[in-house]
Structure 1
Amino acid sequence: MQDKDSTKAAASMAVNAGHFDDPLDRQGLAHFLEHMLFLGTDKYPDSGSFNNFVSQAGGNTNAWTGTEHTCYFFDINNQEFEQALTQFSRFFIAPLLNSAETEKERNA
């Protein structure tokens, strides 16, 4: 959908995995991974860099984990949409999932 007069742009990604996909011995794994994707990627390794970029450009980010899907989304000022989409896409291509951030998230 496009509105040439809009000052905001948005994108979302629904992943076909949710609570029902959690292994019996790892309940909460889908929700845990939802959080981990925001904590750095190969090209944007700083934890929270995407959230900071979007926030500084007048936007918002969020995600939710349901029973069968996990949805990630953001909105941002039009001028920064392309850069935000580039960073956002790295969540699903090459998340870091590094051990230090994993431990922090496990203990949160």
Structure 2
Amino acid sequence: SSMAKRSDITQAILMQSQEELISFVQAVQKASPVDSQALPYPDDMAGYDSKIIMASGSFIQGSSIELSADAPLRAPYTAYFQGGLTEESIELALMLALRDMKKM
């Protein structure tokens, strides 16, 4: 339930479309402290049956505590958002995502 106590760091965020999903993940990359100029695009990846898009501008590759997002490009359009070293970095990523998605 939505009132249950949380103990994980990953938030599933449901989008309305594939375009919103891509825009959200790209905004997370833009807000990242490392490689913010990189623009992730969906691509095939071994072990997945659909294209995947991933954002991770982290200092340590594969770190789950740092800001990241990833998503398979299929319905339901769900992004998996996690980490963030500070509250401000998380807020910045979400503000950029909302701004970019409003432009659609």
* TM-score past 0.5 threshold: no
TM-score by structure 1 length? 0.42
